[in-house]
Amino acid sequence: MIFGRVAIEQSHRLPTGGEIDRLAPLPFRFDGKAYRGYAGDTLASALLANGVTVVGRSFKYHRPRGVLSAGPEEPNALVELRGGGRKEPNSRATMIELFAGLEATSQHRWPSLALDIMELNDLASRFLVAGFYYKTFMGFPGWRFYEKRIRAAAGMGSGTVEWDPDRYEHMNTHCDVLVAGGGPSGLAAALMAGRAGARVILVEETDGLGGRLRSERETIDDKPAMGWVAKTRAELADMDEVRVLTRTTAFGCYDDNMVGALERVADHLAAPPEHMARQRLWHIRAGRVILATGAIERPLVFGGNDRPGVMLAGAVRSYLHRFAVTPGKRAVVVANNDDGYRTALDLARAGVEVMQVLDTRPAGAGAWRERAVAAGLDVMQRAAVVNAYGRMGVVGCDVATLDGHGGVGDTRYVPCDLIAASGGWSPSVHLHSHGDGKADWDDGIAAFVPGANRLGHVSVGAARGRFGLAEALSDGLKAGAEAAKACGFAIGAHPDTPITDEIATAPLKAIWSIPGPTDRTVKRFVDLQDDVTIDDIALAHREGFVSVEHLKRYTTLGMGTDQGKTSNITGHALLAEARGQPIPTVGTTRFRPPYTPVAMAAFAGAERGLHFSPVRRSAMHDWHAEHGAVFVEAGAWLRPQYYLRPGVTKAKAVMDRAIETEVRAVRSKVGLVDVSTLGKIDIQGPDAAEFLNRVYANGFKALPVGKARYGLMLREDGIVDDDGTTSRLGDTHYLMTTTTAHAAKVLADLEWYLQVVWPDLDVRVTSVTEQWAAMALAGPKAREVLAAAADHGTAVSNDALPYLGVINGSIAGVPVRLFRISFSGELGYEVNVPADWGTSVWEALIAAGEPHGITPYGMEAMGILRIEKGHVTHAELDGRITLDDVGMGRMASSKKWFVGRGMLDKPAFIDPERPKLVGLVPVDGKTRIPAGAILVADPATPPPVPKLGHVASSAYLSPTVGHPIALGFLARGRDRLGETVWAVFPLRNLSVQVKVVEPCFVDPEGSRLHV
Amino acid sequence: MIRIPCPHCGPRDHAEFSYAGDATKIRPADPDAATAADWHDYVYFRDNPRGPHMEYWHHTQGCRAYVKVLRDTSTHEVLAAGMPGDTLEAGR
Amino acid sequence: MAEYSVFSLIRNALGGHKDWIRAWRDPEPKKHYDVIVIGGGGHGLATAYYLARNHGITNVAVLEKGWIGGGNVGRNTTIVRSNYMLDGNAHFYEHSLKLWEGLSRDLNYNVMFSQRGVLNLGHSDGQMDAYARRGNTMRLNGVDAELLDRKDVQRLYPHLDFSAAARFPIYGGLLQARGGTARHDAVAWGFARGADRLGVDIIQNCEVTGFERDGNRVTGIQTTRGTIGCGRVGMAVAGNTSRVAAMAGLRLPIESHVLQAFVSEPLKPLVDGVITYGAGHFYISQSDKGGLVLGGDLDFYNSYAQRGNLPTVEHVMACGLAMMPYLGRVRILRGWGGLMDMSMDGSPIISKTPIDNLYLNAGWCYGGFKATPGSGYVFAHTIANDTPHDFNKAMTLDRFATGHLIDEGGKGPTPKLH
Amino acid sequence: MSESTTPPPRRSALANVWHPGDHGRIGFTGPQVTLRERRDITAIQLDAQRGTTDGVGKAVAAAFGLGLPGPGRATTTGDVRALWLGPDRWLLQTATPADLEPRLRSLTEGVGGVVVDQSHGRTILRIEGAKARDTLAKSTGIDLHPRAFAENAVAQTSLFQLAVTIDRRRGTSIFDVHAMRGFAVHLYEALLDAGGEYGVRLV
Ligand SMILES: Cc1cc2nc3c(=O)[nH]c(=O)nc-3n(C[C@H](O)[C@H](O)[C@H](O)COP(=O)(O)OP(=O)(O)OC[C@H]3O[C@@H](n4cnc5c(N)ncnc54)[C@H](O)[C@@H]3O)c2cc1C
Ligand SMILES: NC(=O)c1ccc[n+]([C@@H]2O[C@H](COP(=O)([O-])OP(=O)(O)OC[C@H]3O[C@@H](n4cnc5c(N)ncnc54)[C@H](O)[C@@H]3O)[C@@H](O)[C@H]2O)c1
Ligand SMILES: Cc1cc2nc3c(=O)[nH]c(=O)nc-3n(C[C@H](O)[C@H](O)[C@H](O)COP(=O)(O)O)c2cc1C
Ligand SMILES: [Zn+2]
């Protein structure tokens, strides 16, 4: 019978109670071994139920470690969860919800958890003190040698190189009131705000509501408190404007009340259902933020306090009540506050043998103590555990009285397999601190509590150091009401705070470390994960690392996956003791998001793979794809790089041939290229001409209607920014084109000048890039093709459409704009077509061009054509180039002011030594001149070699001139025409002797343009 | 996320905007009267204060207006916002 | 025997580590120093160290407003390289890299300089041409560089996204094998200890609040711990440059921006060297502790807050996954921000100023950690000799007026773009 | 010389990728999001020059009986819908392609209107259904709650990294999303992906 077997297997499971579903047993594996737990378990509770004590190994000394906590603060019980692309190292067993078939393995040990040879580090621990590595490994054979070994020993879990198959996504939402934390205070706050009609979001990290109530036995209005939780949950569920998200961690507070929250949508399942995200990252923009994040219990520092079986007292109660697990059979309880008694009573009630209850506080009365005594527990006051024994699990401990002056009385050995310890509770001030909130020290609870908060975040309940249930509830009700009110909602009657049956607690008395045996092999840990001991803190202090931030970085205190949730305050307090200063003077280290670690993929959301960044497609994209285009990206656009004939593969030679074919077609017949990607800006208004005249370096005022002109824009610092043609379509109407890459920037700049700099100019600018598909028809036969394609009434003769002329026309019934401009140096036209008709017109031109051998061409051919003509692009205009550098200094109008003109006379800009644009050809007539080569006088010079310039763009073969050509910048280049220099490419061991020529290789007179 | 109150669109995520920098810089109005030093100052120098900073944000993915914002650079708190021509005071 | 060595470690281990002395003293400020260095970051501490070591000037104080190393030196992604193209930068950074190569021994402090190689990925022909130009220039300057094609990159890092789903395919990359990382805190502490041992006073919790002037000279520094007299003053306060300079009446071509960085949970070795993505701003390496250390672009607004916002975090991670899709489930442990002193051409200023005895070290943008030893070295030279070293002679403040800009990125006077 | 006189049908930017049918996770109630492309829309951008806002508004009102909407709003009369795009800038939309552009041009000529045809420059996707809002909320940072974004609300914002216009139509769950035509395929794929968990019907 299954149930019978499970009961026996789960040796530490209580027969009744807990939030687990005993009808749903779940098989799982840890380190290959099969176990069973129940739905509702975490991996940690299921392991404890099965009597598994050792779950992980510590970072530095590889000491065996068990489960310390029952929450996200867990420093010890880290495992590798799942496998393949879903493997997740460093997963906290205390937060992993059990599912059928769960597989986890221990990490950071070799060969096995039980036998880990790196445990030798523990023996060598005397040498491996804080910061030892700064003092050695400096000599032979070099740091890299040691580093390899250290790196292999460091790290915790191992990652994977497989890709994660799961989906991630973001979700945005706005609310009036955000409540972080679904404990009693958070629920009360949400309830009040919700009742007022506010839009409320409550996020709760765990799988259910109730917070600490799930782990305690408390009552509200004389009924079990979890009943109140259920009732509240139901009421919230009925409110349309309230959203409760469980399994959702508020991980960071950012500016203006933006809270980041991670919802683990499917982590409690073996795999996410299809189309569902594994995790969803919420951007919550809140009017008011209420932090009801509770508090985190601190361990006590005593000898061997890291042994498996030493647990937080509150976690012991969680395992008892929430999971019906007894983490041990014989317990010692030690605390500096009343939680010891509470825990001992609960343990005893669950049938655990309580060997000893130790209260580190001086003798005194207290309701809790009296209860414990009345229950027959063996209570010792002013006493503590001083040393725990047991390598793979606690077997016993020494207990002793404390003399109050750092000494101990006689020790007595107490056998036990569980030590429940409580050093008090620290409010979770993390989120409060992210938003610039200050933390104030509260001596009463020996912890930091939220102080002033500029953003108006309000902390309530345990998060504010109010540890009583009634306090938490009333705090929450009040904050919820106030928040709703602040958002403009009317508040109804304030309900009475529910009544609880709490027992008054006696004050805590901090004790930061328990004096222990002088034996140096006994370690007392402050930070369990990173193995920071009190000796490390003393050493850091001795060496002058006396700021908390130095202490942290020198000892790694609080730098583990738990970020010191259970250790920071103790460590800082110990430093304060060593410095002889009060804790608030010493302070605390800075809290940073995320509150608990967040997967990179969750941050990235859906922006992965091809959707990492949107691509843009031209109107003729599908045509290109159907006709063998190989695409390349240019400024988010996919553009044909070249076209392959059917059946031809993409080998380099083929590619070169394709390009050559395309170039030849343009020079000898006619080609068609998609230039839709060029930016197009519609400029209209009475001051449009004046405006253009100011933003372009060359004059634009005299441009007649129906004409286009090439223009250059400078940045304010005088450097060339962008170029393109601008056409005057009407009296006050212009169309500007920009380069593909700069289109967005140029538009933003124009808007800048109009809105901010010259608000007196009456001009409107709009991007029409997407409205118009654009294609350039170029080649000696271009006019014939255009004439054949054009509709009746559209005349394209040299008279009707002269060089740089602009007319409206129609092709295939589509109204088009025709521009007689050319980038290739051939007779050319640009045709602008409303985008939805782009393909129709393109096809019409192809059809009309068929008899003339029309060839579509791509970016590569266009690149060669423009290099042959010496036209510059971004390869030349790299953000450091002046007009003069590219030989266009004369274009700058001297008659007017334009952007950048004030900078042109800077000494460096008029220095005759500046590299100038030149053409380059190989002296041997055949060797390629690779782009990126550097121009030097003599390739044999040893470094550092004086550099004369560089090769900016290169055509490995200009089909038109029959040899390689290139454009480059050469110091005093204009004076060196005819000279030879060397283009060197030491990365590939190449050097080419090149002749300096004019930067135009084809038709320098431009006669082909004007036919 | 900084929420920038666009005078046209209302409060929006700063991610919808492009930062356009120091709004106290005034471009020389009369280029003929401007000296090289004036241009130099305009193009290169910034006060770069810690505290309230007058700056421009371009609502690039919104209404495409340039918005003038007074924002505290030590807290990121937006103290006021308006149109480019507005004089801003904290708390407005 | 060196103060720190494996032998001293063993001896101390046997003695319970009771004999270690403070890494640096905690002196009260004196009335007057020959040189006061403002800013206890990497550059300030290195400057003090080299003033003492190279120039014999030991009556030096470093004034730090908080704890040393708490600024950018303690919060950067620790990438060290010298793959610069422009002459104004290239020789300086290479000199700095050479100093790194001997730094641990020089300081008798292990700064864990690890030459694991810095690889910049290229994603287009244009970008590969630009890398070629940079790499060729480096080689001509005597700096190591290798141009990798797609296959070479795949051999080095087989698990990057070489798939058809890659939004930006990898064309190749530029590798500087001598580049790498160093342990950032150790750099600050090592220089501090080195300077301290040579007599420099390191004064923490001492914020500079003003300058006392006599004509065109600074005579004293006002601080939260009183006024301190000085012969010369070097300023190396990184993100706070504009504020401190303003106290001396200087306006600068600098804006302060926030740059975030992140560290993952510690993992067994997964990323060997330093890799940067070429299609977005992203760089990653793995710390010796096992955390993946990664960063991206600025938040794009002036800031002194040392913290950034979520959109940048998300974009950095998206870039990371675009390059290394297998990092999807790696969890980010912590993120933080630092204040970048963004200059108008993206290059540093190590220069004399209009004030006779005030010297400026600033404008480090994303990249001043790698410069730490080099910067201290030439800044000390500049202060000691009242004239720049050959390596920083182009890094003047007046280059913006003359047009001799050192604009590696060609971005112009828009600091956020550098 | 070719003889055509009437333009051919307009080709959608999504012509090649649109596969009508149900996509994603289809529950008992069927897809909870419906996506359709609004095709053949005429969309004319109308700007008012300095100081002519009133004049332009009056001219439009006189001709179409349509008040130009204020910031963040849209107005509709008969066949024409006007969306606020930015300061002194509107988009006039109609599904009956007629002569909207020339009419506007002649109407506003002289009163200071600037007319720019954007009919082909934008792809418009209509998304509706119970989960339309959640699908959009996966990417846009604006508040789509009816309290904040009621019927006839319009926003220029960012969606799946694109600059878009979101226009809330009748009812509470119908939105028109306008994006640049070149990014249409990206928008379409991103919406399908985001809506996948709710089930998306493409019509
Ligand atoms: C996230 C991030 C990533 C980076 N990544 C890299 C990288 O990979 N590689 C690289 O080379 N560089 C990188 N950098 C840049 C590099 O860290 C900095 O350029 C460099 O550290 C700056 O020099 P510093 O160390 O002297 O500055 P800091 O360490 O900032 O030192 C300046 C010091 O001045 C102090 N100070 C300021 N004002 C005063 C005052 N009034 N009085 C007294 N003291 C004052 C500050 O407290 C601070 O300690 C990065 C920076 C950041 C923030
Ligand atoms: N014994 C003690 O001294 C002691 C100490 C502390 C608390 N308590 C008890 O705890 C309760 C206090 O109530 P409370 O509501 O203030 O706290 P709580 O601990 O009951 O609830 C806090 C809740 O917030 C959640 N949470 C924490 N950080 C979160 C985050 N970043 N994102 C999302 N969820 C997060 C937790 O999972 C938890 O459910 C009372 O019942 C009180 O008696 C007792
Ligand atoms: C290279 C590097 C590695 C780091 N590794 C860790 C780490 O392993 N754990 C950790 O908690 N923080 C790590 N940090 C971050 C620091 O904790 C801290 O956030 C950072 O130095 C900035 O300081 P601040 O957060 O106190 O402002 C690392 C920082 C750097 C620069
Ligand atoms: Zn706006």
Q: Are C24-79+184-254+345-402 and C114-178+255-340 the same fold in CATH?
A: no
Say which CATH architecture domain D42-119 belongs to.
Answer: 2-Layer Sandwich (3.30)
The CATH classification number of C114-178+255-340 equals 3.30.9.10
Report CB contact under 8 Å: A813, D141: no
Report CB contact under 8 Å: C167, A550: no
- Nearest partner of C366 among C410, C417, C413, judged by Cα: C417
User: How far away, in angstroms, is C336 Cα from ligand 4 center?
Assistant: 30
Q: What gap in Å lies between CA D168 and CA D172, rounded to an integer? A: 8
Q: Other C-beta atoms within 10 Å of C297: how many?
A: 18
Q: Which two tokens stand for residue C115?
A: 């030459």
Gap between the terminal Cα atoms of chain D: 39
Q: What gap in Å lies between CA C221 and CA B88, rounded to an integer? A: 35
User: How far away, in angstroms, is A458 Cα from ligand 2 center?
Assistant: 15
B3 touches chain D (CB under 8 A): no
Give the nearest partner residue to B2 out of C251, C309, C413, using CB atoms.
C309
SS (H, E, C) C43-58: HHHHHHHHHHHHHCCC
Q: Are A167-295+427-486 and A299-423+504-513 the same fold in CATH?
A: yes
Q: Which CATH number fits domain D21-39+121-202: 3.30.1360.120, 2.40.50.140, 3.30.420.40, 2.60.40.10?
A: 3.30.1360.120
Q: What gap in Å lies between CA A846 and CA A141, rounded to an integer? A: 69
User: So what's the pLDDT on residue C345?
Assistant: 97
User: So what's the pLDDT on residue D1?
Assistant: 56
Which residues face B5 on adjacent strands?
Answer: B11
Q: Are B67 and B4 in contact (CB under 8 A)?
A: yes
Q: Are A212 and A229 in contact (CB under 8 A)?
A: no
Assess whether the previous peptide bond of B28 is cis (omega < 30° from 0): no
Report CB contact under 8 Å: A932, C8: no
Write b or e for each residue in C354-383: b if 16 or more Cβ atoms lie within 10 A of its Cβ, otherwise e: ebebbbbbbbbbbbbbbbbbbbbbbbbbbb
- Ligand 3 atom with the smallest distance to the CA of C289 is 8
Q: Which CATH number fits domain A677-853: 3.30.1360.120, 3.30.428.10, 3.40.50.720, 3.40.50.10090?
A: 3.30.1360.120
Q: Does residue D2 register a pLDDT over 70?
A: no
* DSSP state at residue A462: G
Question: What residue ranges define each of the domains in chain B, with the CATH number in brackets?
Answer: 3-82 (3.30.2270.10)
Q: Does residue A212 register a pLDDT over 70?
A: yes
Residue reference for tokens 């683990």: A264
User: So what's the pLDDT on residue D4?
Assistant: 61
Q: Does residue A946 register a pLDDT over 50?
A: yes
Which pLDDT band holds residue A650 (cuts at 50, 70, 90)?
Answer: confident
Span D111-126, pLDDT tens digits? 999 999 999 999 999 9
Q: 3-state DSSP: chain C helix, strand, coil percent, rounded to 5?
A: 35, 25, 40
**Ramachandran angles phi, psi of A533, nearest 5°:** -105, 170
* C chain contacts of residue A529, beta-carbon cutoff 8 Å: none
Q: What gap in Å lies between CA A844 and CA A831, rounded to an integer? A: 12
Which pLDDT band holds residue A1 (cuts at 50, 70, 90)?
Answer: very low
Which pLDDT band holds residue A436 (cuts at 50, 70, 90)?
Answer: confident
Mean pLDDT of C88-95: 98
Report CB contact under 8 Å: B73, C302: yes
CA distances from A897 to A317, A384, A735, A757, A902 (A): 79, 84, 22, 14, 8
Q: What gap in Å lies between CA A702 and CA A977, rounded to an integer? A: 35
Give percent of chain A above pLDDT 90.
92
Mean pLDDT of A28-35: 97
Instruction: Kindly state the helix (H) or strand (E) to which residue A532 belongs, with its residue range.
Output: strand A532-533
Mean pLDDT of chain D: 94
Span A293-305, pLDDT tens digits? 999 999 999 999 9
Q: Does residue A261 register a pLDDT over 60?
A: yes
* DSSP state at residue A886: G
Q: 3-state DSSP: chain B helix, strand, coil percent, rounded to 5?
A: 15, 35, 50
Q: Which residues surround ligand 1 with Cβ inside 6 Å?
A: C 38-44, 63-66, 70-73, 75-79, 207-208, 236-240, 244, 259, 261, 295, 338, 340, 364, 366-370
Q: Are A37 and A49 in contact (CB under 8 A)?
A: yes
**Ramachandran angles phi, psi of C129, nearest 5°:** -65, -40
Gap between the terminal Cα atoms of chain C: 46
User: So what's the pLDDT on residue A3?
Assistant: 41
The CATH classification number of A1-163 equals 3.10.20.440
Gap between the terminal Cα atoms of chain B: 20
Q: Other C-beta atoms within 10 Å of B25: how many?
A: 16
Residue A168's identity, in one-letter code, is Y
Mean pLDDT of A497-519: 91
Q: Which residues surround ligand 2 with Cβ inside 6 Å?
A: A 180-186, 203-206, 211-213, 249-250, 292-295, 339, 425, 428, 431, 461-463, 467-469, 472, 595
Nearest CA in chain B to C241: B48
- Nearest partner of D158 among A258, B7, B18, A287, judged by Cα: B18
Report CB contact under 8 Å: C302, B53: yes
> What top-level class would CATH report for the domain C24-79+184-254+345-402?
alpha beta
The CATH classification number of A524-588 equals 1.10.10
Q: Is A272 left (phi over 0), alpha (psi -120 to 50) or beta?
A: beta
Q: What gap in Å lies between CA D61 and CA D107, rounded to an integer? A: 10
Q: What gap in Å lies between CA C86 and CA C91, rounded to an integer? A: 9
Q: Are C268 and C290 in contact (CB under 8 A)?
A: yes
Which pLDDT band holds residue A8 (cuts at 50, 70, 90)?
Answer: low
Give percent of chain B above pLDDT 90.
92
Mean pLDDT of A303-330: 98
CA distances from D138 to A281, B36, C165, D168 (A): 9, 51, 22, 17
* Triad C391, C393, C395: Cα angle to 5°: 95
Q: What gap in Å lies between CA A160 and CA A88, rounded to an integer? A: 8
Which pLDDT band holds residue A649 (cuts at 50, 70, 90)?
Answer: confident
DSSP string, A209-234: S-GGGGGS--EETTEEHHHHHHHHHH
Span A44-98, pLDDT tens digits? 999 999 999 999 999 999 999 999 999 999 999 999 999 999 999 999 999 999 9
User: So what's the pLDDT on residue A6?
Assistant: 44
Q: What gap in Å lies between CA A1001 and CA A993, rounded to an integer? A: 18
Which residues face D139 on adjacent strands?
Answer: none
User: How far away, in angstroms, is D156 Cα from ligand 4 center?
Assistant: 8
* Triad A478, A480, A483: Cα angle to 5°: 105
Q: Are D21-39+121-202 and D42-119 the same fold in CATH?
A: no
Mean pLDDT of chain A: 95
A751 touches chain B (CB under 8 A): yes
Instruction: Kindly state the helix (H) or strand (E) to which residue A235 belongs, with its residue range.
Output: helix A225-237
* C chain contacts of residue B21, beta-carbon cutoff 8 Å: 255, 302, 414, 416
* B chain contacts of residue C243, beta-carbon cutoff 8 Å: 48-50
pTM of the model: 0.97
Q: What gap in Å lies between CA A560 and CA A565, rounded to an integer? A: 10
Kindly give the pairing relationship between strand C226-235 and strand C358-362: parallel
User: So what's the pLDDT on residue C1?
Assistant: 55
> What top-level class would CATH report for the domain A910-1010?
mainly beta
* A chain contacts of residue B75, beta-carbon cutoff 8 Å: 436, 454
Which of C36, C72, C257, C313 best tests ligand 1's pocket when mutated (most atoms within 8 Å of CB)?
C72
The chains in contact with chain D, meaning 3 or more Cβ pairs closer than 8 Å, are: A, B
B59 touches chain C (CB under 8 A): no
Mean pLDDT of A484-504: 90
Report CB contact under 8 Å: A156, C266: yes
- How far is residue B18 CA from its own chain's centroid? 11
Span A555-605, pLDDT tens digits? 999 999 999 999 999 999 999 999 999 999 999 999 999 999 999 999 999
Give percent of chain A above pLDDT 70.
99
Q: What gap in Å lies between CA A576 and CA A513, rounded to an integer? A: 13
Report CB contact under 8 Å: D156, B13: no
Span A689-716, pLDDT tens digits? 999 999 999 999 999 999 999 999 999 9
Q: Which CATH number fits domain A167-295+427-486: 3.40.50.12780, 3.40.50.2030, 1.10.10.1100, 3.50.50.60?
A: 3.50.50.60
Which residues face C351 on adjacent strands?
Answer: C360
User: So what's the pLDDT on residue B91?
Assistant: 66
- Ligand 2 atom with the smallest distance to the CA of A342 is 1
* Triad A770, A771, A775: Cα angle to 5°: 80
SS (H, E, C) C265-334: CCECCCCCCEEEECCCCEEEEECCCCCEEEEEEEEEEECCCCCCCHHHHHHHHHHHHHHCHHHCCCEEEE
Q: B16, B32, B40, B66: best mutation site toward chain A, by most A Cβ within 10 Å?
A: B66
Span D131-152, pLDDT tens digits? 999 999 999 999 999 999 999 9
Give the nearest partner residue to D156 out of B1, B15, B62, using CB atoms.
B62
Q: Where are the domains of chain A?
A: 1-163, 167-295+427-486, 299-423+504-513, 524-588, 677-853, 910-1010
CA dihedral C73, C77, C82, C87 (to 10 degrees): -70
| Per-chain residues with Cβ under 5 A from ion ligand 4 | B 6, 8-9, 59, 62-63
Report CB contact under 8 Å: B84, A759: yes
- Residues contacting C151, CB < 8 A, separation 6+: none
Residue C43's identity, in one-letter code, is H
User: How far away, in angstroms, is A449 Cα from ligand 2 center?
Assistant: 14
SS3 A671: strand
Q: What gap in Å lies between CA A947 and CA A915, rounded to an integer? A: 10
Say which CATH architecture domain A299-423+504-513 belongs to.
Answer: 3-Layer(bba) Sandwich (3.50)
Q: What gap in Å lies between CA A311 and CA A327, rounded to an integer? A: 9
Q: What gap in Å lies between CA A37 and CA A39, rounded to an integer? A: 7
